[in-house]
Chain A
Amino acid sequence: MIETVNLTKRFDDILAVDHITAQIKDGSVFGLVGTNGAGKSTFLRLLSGVLKPDEGTVTIDGREVYEREDVKSEFFYISDDQAFLNNGTPGDMMAFYSKLYPGFDRSRFDRLLGNFGLDRRRRISTFSKGMKKQLSIICGLCAGTNYLFCDETFDGLDPVMRQTVKSLFANDMEERGMTPIIASHNLRELEDICDHVGLLHRGGILLSKDLDDMKTSIHKIQCVLPDGTGPDSLAALEIVKKESRGRLLTLTVRGERERAEAVMEASGAIFYELIPLTLEEIFISETEVAGYDIKKLVF
């Protein structure tokens, strides 16, 4: 299990990661979502031991990560702009990584290279952005590590390739219990792969929950209330957001589905419907509460 306690990182005057305490359980896909500049990449760089925390700790199974070879050999970090060996070929990368990661699977590497249509002897510098991404994912998967840290990994991959990668991740999770930690702002991509989501905003963590829990604890209600009845009659609901169009009221509320339904029933609503929120909607409403309001940005 990866655990961060009070993890803090500053770059001069900027507080990039602000006292984050989080746990990433083994065997699940952890999605790291957040606003631009929220600190997702910094958080991943701290997890991978590239950066040294200013405060707090990062541990994997209770062992500090920074400058620990034994701990670092348990994960593979794919950065948003992965570097490769100068003038290297995929074959060179395989040789390089296989010296560093004892569990590196060379035959799988060759197989995946073939499946992805990448030439083993072609210089990586001639690859397109997407091909480089594919290669870095192949390297990460074949390294055989328990954890795979991916920073905006799906960026630059075509839809087919994204699905392929997701399948590969699922396969590795099932076969050898790999735990991917994926940072992205593409919430639709994460939605169908993540088990657990950590939402970062301005260096801090707004929430960290199982995606299912998150979806069942926040709902969108569309309703039409009787004449003379206003939203005040729904005070029992924890309303996060409220919008009205004519008589149609759209509410985003926190709490159990059953409880929300009970309140709506009690309010005598002419019509009401509970709609599950997408991850993107959850993200928008949560960050809006934290002051990241689209209206403020636009107007």
Chain B
Amino acid sequence: MTSRSWFFRGMTEEFKRRLWAVALSSLAFFFTFPVSMVYLTTQSDRSDARNLNYFIDSAKELLSYGNGWTVTLMAIMAVVLGFSGFSYLNSKRKVDFYHSLPVRREKQFLIRYLCGILIAAVPYLVFAVISAQIAAAAGAPMGEIMRTALFGWAYQMLSFLIPYTAAVIAAMLTGNTVVGLMGFGVLNFYFPLFVLLWQGLAEMCLETFCSHNFAADWAGRLSPMFFYISGFDKTVTGGMVLSRLAAAAVFILIAAVLHKKRPSEAAGRAMAFPLSQPFIRIMITTEFSVSGLMFFWNLGGRSIGWAVFGLLAGGVICHCVIEIIYHFDFKKLFCHKRQMVFSLALAFGFFALFFWDITGYDSWLPDSGQMDSAAAYAENGADSWVDYGTLFLGKEENGRSYGQWLRESEEEHITDRMILENSDLALEFARTWIESWNQTGMEAVRGNSWPEERVCVIYRMKNGRTVKRVYDIPEENVKDLFREIYHDSGYKKGRYPLLEMTEDQLKGVQVSHMGKESLLSEKEGFSREEMAELLKLYQKELSNLSLEQSGELPVGEIRFLDELRLQAATGTKDQEMAWVYGSREYYPIYPAFQETIGALLKLNIKVGDPMDPAAIRSVWVEAEVETESDFPGDISVSYMGYEERNRDAIERIASEMKYSSYIEYCSFGDFSRDVFLRVRFEDDSDEAFFVPDGETADWLRERIKANAEE
């Protein structure tokens, strides 16, 4: 046969053989696209521009690569087509039939592999194009809708190659369809579970492990199905296309080689390649042993006895199940005992690696000569109030703008931006912790203090590697250890995005005092120079702030606005955008910021003054109070409250009360909020305040008791 004829004749025969799959695929895509699109047209009102735009958006969503149903359908088809295309390999009769024919196996592979793709691709393309035309007939712009459909198809088909080829590989590796499906499960879940176990053990056993997203980051890269799914929830980039092309190419190569090397006698066996059996057996048994160990270890209060039981239970059961599957014989469950013992030992070794920190993970310190830079921050203790992100103004198809806050994680921002001027500070900090830990162990490091603070240190090495460690420190000690880092200008530059703001970006300033906001902008009669001066002063005082000063309760809040943020803050573009921006990016005005407070005063904005009692209608006072119980001599503590309407009492409360929301700005601050206040103002709004421990707090407790007795 000529090359052309064998290919087309082979394809024709293969299509005939898989007519059922063609019918199923066509039916699925018929309902997915044309039927859905016609339904959409009948259900949508397209009488005005806004509704038409809504219809166009819905139609595009249906045809785009991000359509969740299409993703699901293609994933199912990948498995069905991958296995059905090569199911003949599991039947001795069919293997004898096909492999005795004068057609090389490479050709048979190519025909079956391509046929599977075409069974999905052709109906998808045909019905997507028809749907696009239906949408165009209903008023959607033809070019735009067709582009969406074709791009969606192309990207879906590219992504489809990955789970489809993974299913083909699973079929090649096994000689039985049920075992093949299990193999597909192993291909997809083995490595994600492995990294999950890795992360779990690291989190449970290592004191300084801090890669919270380790498993989530890697799962998408280590599983064909996860990798496939992960490509649809974001905008497609060139890198995503290339990574899919590369992954598909590697998978196709593996599948082709396996098909060529697969022995015909593998039909009907569990595993096609006897050589793969011990590796797979050991890998899976080891993973299940570790899973069992972790489960029972946690269940049994982290006792080694339970850990060993879990290890044996998980490992032995898994090994026996694998043996039964491999041999299709229950009596063979204890075959290859040595491999079982080896797997159990390997699993215990894996656990020991973490449990006894054999690699010295926790005590690791980089060589300062190998270190390029470092960063450090307290996860909750200091500056955890800072907002990281970007305000984004999007535009919908109908011309309506919408705001979105694109949040950036604290860890990400600091990893990218913070470079300590003196990176030895981070090293010294870690060294102090490690020495203490080495000498006294974690219990002693922790002491009796609770809660602990978590200080994350990021080391950037000269070889490009970034290493992260987290050190748990008692709250009472962290301030002393962290002080020098806090004073490093690199810390503040990396921690406070505001320090990067320039005068020319500045379009407005918003000040908040106990929830009451004031806006400074050119429109409000403030000059650019006045606002720039304010920014300069605030940046200077923030840069010079000491850790102690940052622990004081602020007297107000301030945020500096660029053009977009000004629009958001004033709600000029969109009320929804104002809501999205909310109270983000406010910075505290600490009592130490005298120059900023002075400058604001010059602009007639007062911060720090006590609340005017005249504005207060009533105060709900709540606190824990001690009362005598029904049993003589016994004291019971209960949470009680009352509503204060007495003007004298309100005046006293107003002079002492502090704004609750400001507490978040206090670095390592220790404010007792025992007496809680809900202040209702004359304008019917209300805010939360508190009274720090002291005479007024005691006086209020007495009043609560007295009210309760009445």
Binds B, one of A79-87, A212-220, A253-261, A280-288: A79-87
User: Which residues on the B side are within 8 Å of A67 (C-beta)?
Assistant: 104-105
Contact across chains for A69 and B94 when beta carbons are under 8 A apart: no
Given contacts A50-B95, A51-B263, A67-B105, are A77 and B100 in contact (CB under 8 A)?
Answer: yes
Q: How far is the CB of B5 from chain A (nearest CB, A)?
A: 8
Contact across chains for B1 and A49 when beta carbons are under 8 A apart: no
The reply to whether the CB of A48 lies closer than 8 angstroms to some CB of chain B is yes
Nearest chain A residue, comparing its CB with the CB of B263: A52
Interface bits A42-59 vs B (CB < 8 Å: 1, else 0)? 000100111110000000
Query: Which residue from A52, A84, A86, A100 sits with its C-beta under 8 Å from B101?
Result: A100
Contact across chains for B97 and A82 when beta carbons are under 8 A apart: yes
Contact across chains for A11 and B16 when beta carbons are under 8 A apart: no
Nearest chain A residue, comparing its CB with the CB of B10: A99
Nearest chain B residue, comparing its CB with the CB of A84: B97
Complex CA–CA separation, A100 to B108 (angstroms): 13
The reply to whether the CB of A292 lies closer than 8 angstroms to some CB of chain B is no
Contact across chains for B17 and A86 when beta carbons are under 8 A apart: yes
Q: How far is the CB of A90 from chain B (nearest CB, A)?
A: 15
Question: At the interface, is chain A mostly helix, strand, loop or mixed?
Answer: loop
Q: How far is the CB of A266 from chain B (nearest CB, A)?
A: 55
Given contacts A50-B264, A86-B17, A99-B9, are A81 and B99 in contact (CB under 8 A)?
Answer: no
Given contacts A11-B265, A51-B263, A85-B17, are A100 and B93 in contact (CB under 8 A)?
Answer: no
Given contacts A11-B265, A12-B274, A51-B263, are A69 and B104 in contact (CB under 8 A)?
Answer: yes
Residues in A20-55 with C-beta less than 8 Å from chain B: 45, 48-52
Query: Which residue from B16, B93, B104, B265 sits with its C-beta under 8 Å from A83?
Result: B93
The reply to whether the CB of B102 lies closer than 8 angstroms to some CB of chain A is yes
The reply to whether the CB of B13 lies closer than 8 angstroms to some CB of chain A is yes
Given contacts A12-B274, A86-B17, are A51 and B100 in contact (CB under 8 A)?
Answer: no
Nearest chain B residue, comparing its CB with the CB of A151: B96
Residues in A65-110 with C-beta less than 8 Å from chain B: 67, 69-70, 72-73, 77, 79, 81-86, 92, 96, 99-101
Nearest chain B residue, comparing its CB with the CB of A71: B102
Interface bits B71-104 vs A (CB < 8 Å: 1, else 0)? 0000000000000000000011111110111111
User: Which residues on the B side are within 8 Å of A92 (C-beta)?
Assistant: 16
Query: Which residue from A50, A69, A82 sits with its C-beta under 8 Å from B103?
Result: A69
Query: Which residue from B16, B92, B94, B103 sits with its C-beta under 8 Å from A100?
Result: B103
Nearest chain B residue, comparing its CB with the CB of A72: B102
Given contacts A79-B96, A86-B17, are A101 and B102 in contact (CB under 8 A)?
Answer: yes
Query: Which residue from B99, B104, B274 sits with its C-beta under 8 Å from A50?
Result: B99
Contact across chains for A83 and B94 when beta carbons are under 8 A apart: yes
Complex CA–CA separation, A51 to B274 (angstroms): 16
Complex CA–CA separation, A267 to B393 (angstroms): 119
Contact across chains for A72 and B265 when beta carbons are under 8 A apart: no
Interface bits B271-282 vs A (CB < 8 Å: 1, else 0)? 000100000000
Interface bits B16-35 vs A (CB < 8 Å: 1, else 0)? 11000000000000000000
Contact across chains for B17 and A50 when beta carbons are under 8 A apart: no
Q: How far is the CB of A60 from chain B (nearest CB, A)?
A: 12
Given contacts A51-B264, A85-B17, A96-B13, are A79 and B102 in contact (CB under 8 A)?
Answer: no
User: Which residues on the A side are within 8 Å of B274 (C-beta)?
Assistant: 12
User: Which residues on the A side are within 8 Å of B16 (C-beta)?
Assistant: 85, 92
User: Which residues on the B side are within 8 Å of A69 (C-beta)?
Assistant: 102-104
Interface bits B173-213 vs A (CB < 8 Å: 1, else 0)? 00000000000000000000000000000000000000000
Give the A-B pair count, Cβ closer than 8 A. 61
Complex CA–CA separation, A207 to B491 (angstroms): 90
User: Which residues on the B side are within 8 Å of A48 (C-beta)?
Assistant: 96, 100
Complex CA–CA separation, A83 to B97 (angstroms): 6
Q: How far is the CB of A52 from chain B (nearest CB, A)?
A: 7
Contact across chains for B13 and A50 when beta carbons are under 8 A apart: no
Given contacts A51-B263, A51-B264, are A83 and B105 in contact (CB under 8 A)?
Answer: no
Tally of B interface residues using CB under 8 Å: 24
Question: At the interface, is chain B mostly helix, strand, loop or mixed?
Answer: helix
User: Which residues on the A side are within 8 Å of B91 (C-beta)?
Assistant: 83
Assign chain A's interface to a size class. 20 to 34
Name which of A51, A77, A83 has the most chain B CB atoms within 10 A of its CB: A83
Given contacts A12-B274, A51-B265, A67-B105, are A72 and B100 in contact (CB under 8 A)?
Answer: yes
Q: How far is the CB of A206 from chain B (nearest CB, A)?
A: 24
Complex CA–CA separation, A45 to B264 (angstroms): 10
User: Which residues on the B side are within 8 Å of A96 (C-beta)?
Assistant: 13
Complex CA–CA separation, A100 to B100 (angstroms): 11
User: Which residues on the A side are within 8 Å of B104 (C-beta)?
Assistant: 67, 69
Given contacts A69-B102, A86-B17, are A50 and B263 in contact (CB under 8 A)?
Answer: no
Given contacts A50-B100, A69-B104, A100-B102, are A81 and B264 in contact (CB under 8 A)?
Answer: no
Nearest chain B residue, comparing its CB with the CB of A51: B264
Q: How far is the CB of A152 from chain B (nearest CB, A)?
A: 13
Contact across chains for A79 and B93 when beta carbons are under 8 A apart: yes
Complex CA–CA separation, A101 to B91 (angstroms): 24
User: Which residues on the B side are within 8 Å of A45 (C-beta)?
Assistant: 96, 100, 264
User: Which residues on the B side are within 8 Å of A50 (C-beta)?
Assistant: 95-96, 99-100, 264
Name which of B13, B96, B264 has the most chain A CB atoms within 10 A of its CB: B96
User: Which residues on the B side are within 8 Å of A49 (C-beta)?
Assistant: 99-100
Residues in B8-62 with C-beta less than 8 Å from chain A: 9, 13, 16-17
Contact across chains for A79 and B264 when beta carbons are under 8 A apart: no
Query: Which residue from A51, A73, A85 sits with its C-beta under 8 Å from B102?
Result: A73
Complex CA–CA separation, A70 to B1 (angstroms): 10
User: Which residues on the B side are within 8 Å of A81 (C-beta)?
Assistant: 92-93
Complex CA–CA separation, A45 to B94 (angstroms): 13
Residues in B101-131 with C-beta less than 8 Å from chain A: 101-105
Complex CA–CA separation, A84 to B17 (angstroms): 11
User: Which residues on the A side are within 8 Å of B9 (C-beta)?
Assistant: 99
Residues in B293-321 with C-beta less than 8 Å from chain A: none
User: Which residues on the A side are within 8 Å of B263 (C-beta)?
Assistant: 51-52
Complex CA–CA separation, A81 to B267 (angstroms): 14
Q: How far is the CB of A81 from chain B (nearest CB, A)?
A: 5
Complex CA–CA separation, A69 to B100 (angstroms): 10
Complex CA–CA separation, A11 to B92 (angstroms): 14
Complex CA–CA separation, A77 to B93 (angstroms): 12
User: Which residues on the B side are within 8 Å of A82 (C-beta)?
Assistant: 93, 96-97
Complex CA–CA separation, A81 to B101 (angstroms): 16
Q: How far is the CB of B584 from chain A (nearest CB, A)?
A: 63
Nearest chain B residue, comparing its CB with the CB of A73: B102
Nearest chain B residue, comparing its CB with the CB of A11: B265
Complex CA–CA separation, A67 to B264 (angstroms): 12
Identify the A interface with B (CB < 8 A): 11-12, 45, 48-52, 67, 69-70, 72-73, 77, 79, 81-86, 92, 96, 99-101
| Listed A/B pairs (29) with beta-carbon separation below 8 Å | A11-B265, A45-B264, A48-B100, A49-B99, A49-B100, A50-B95, A50-B96, A50-B99, A50-B264, A51-B264, A51-B265, A70-B102, A73-B102, A77-B96, A79-B93, A79-B100, A81-B92, A82-B96, A82-B97, A83-B93, A83-B94, A84-B97, A85-B13, A85-B16, A86-B17, A99-B1, A99-B9, A100-B1, A100-B102
Apart from A45-B96, A83-B96, 5 more pairs, CB < 8 Å: A73-B102, A99-B5, A100-B101, A100-B103, A101-B102
Going nearest first, the 3 A-B pairs with the smallest beta carbon separation are: A83-B97, A72-B102, A73-B102
Identify the B interface with A (CB < 8 A): 1, 5, 9, 13, 16-17, 91-97, 99-105, 263-265, 274
